[in-house]
Amino acid sequence: MIERILKRRILSSFRKGKAVILYGPRQCGKTTLVKSMLEESGEDYFFINGDEPDIREMLPNATSARLRSMVGSYTTVFIDEAQRIPDIGIIIKLFVDQLTDVQVIATGSSSFELASRTQEPLTGRKYEFLLLPFSFEELVAQEGVVEEKRRLENRLIYGTYPEVVTKPAEQGVLLKLLAGSYLYKDILMSEQLKKPGLLDKILRAVALQIGNEVSYHEIAQLVGADSQTIEKYIILLEQAFVLFRLPAFSRNVRNEIKKGRKIFFFDNGVRNAVLGNFSPFHVRTDAGMLWENYLMSERYKLHSFHGYDVGRYFWRTTQQQEIDYIEERNGSLYAYEYKWGKASKLKIPKTFLQEYHPTASAVITPETMDGFLLEQLEDIPGSKEPEKRKQKNSEHR
């Protein structure tokens, strides 16, 4: 079994008087992680499955006395697919406030359902974690850097969902099943979704624009909807952990793009399943898109799994000066360029250097990816500080 990084952080949050909420897309391993974690730690637990109709009827309007009679002497309660249970926020609040000897851990595959139902009742009463498909770091811990980098082209095409990784002979079939409807189950059941047929069209449009600035207006014209509807559906897809948005970085420069956004998939395999394209890598024309999506999603996992507080952006001006990825950490900026082919000389636009003075910059290629996805920017081979900053640091020393 591939060890999940979140396990240690989740266990360290137990028995501190708060509920533990674990979000993540369907099929990313939430239930497996929680069950294995509780069993390995010797925890006896009471299991509640939110997908069961009788459970959904039994729990609403429950009192603390009724909850106590239900769980008996168990001191750990595991609520799976908690977003399906009405009044789940109030129920967990009763556990935290009234049954103080009981540790609750709840999982949910839809943040727009679970978060909205727990936000107010559980203010100050919960620890939240996000589980995503396997990260490069987790796979390296299992197989080693050399072996995982050998599988890079496969990861760019099929992604890293647990079942896809552990059943390589069935990768394409499994992804088609996942992207067919299961991944969007929570969205399809949502009352906010008025036109389910639009989902596939929007996903296909976004999948073809990886790395490019996305215009809701252009997508709307393409799929026959209005811009507000497109934005609403994109937000729902983001809350179901299918997509995530990358905003434009803008503070000082007059001709910066200030309200732009790029959109990426949390998993390359889902992106390719949406397009129905699992062609071998050597015949593909979208290598650059796949490489950029992979790096963006993997860097996102690195930050999320370790609990890093990081700002993520791209940067572009109306004159087409651009930087693929800007990261803000502890008040410092780091500039990244992504190159699938042979690395060219890194050129950070002078406009950006003069206005923002980034701490360091680097070109991320398949050769340097392990530094980028396992450590911080300053540890990446080939990263460099801008000359002016180097000079200042030298004078200071």
Task: Give the tens place of pLDDT for each residue, 294-310.
Answer: 999 999 999 999 999 99
Read off the pLDDT of residues 107-120 as tens digits, 9 standing for 90 and up: 988 764 556 555 66
The gap from C-alpha 340 to its chain's centroid, in whole angstroms, comes to 22
Domain residue ranges in the chain:
6-130, 136-192+237-379
Mean pLDDT within 196-223: 92
CATH of 6-130, picked from 3.40.309.10, 3.40.50.300, 3.30.70.20, 3.40.50.920, is 3.40.50.300
Listed as own residue / partner, the contacts of 355-358 with beta carbons closer than 8 Å and 24 or more positions apart are 355/251, 355/252, 355/253, 356/251, 356/252, 357/333, 357/386, 357/388, 357/389, 358/326, 358/332, 358/333, 358/334, 358/386, 358/389
Across the chain, what does the average pLDDT equal?
Answer: 88
Q: Is residue 391 pLDDT above 60, yes or no?
A: no
Task: State mean pLDDT over 20-34.
Answer: 94
Over residues 70-104, the pLDDT tens digits come to 999 999 999 998 888 888 888 999 999 999 999 99
Q: How confident is the model at residue 383 (pLDDT cuts 50, 70, 90)?
A: low
pLDDT grade for 394, boundaries at 50, 70 and 90: very low
> Band of the pLDDT at 376, cuts 50, 70, 90?
low
| pLDDT value of position 393 | 40
198/142 Cα distance (integer angstroms): 39
Angle at 199 between CA 197 and CA 202, to 5 degrees: 120
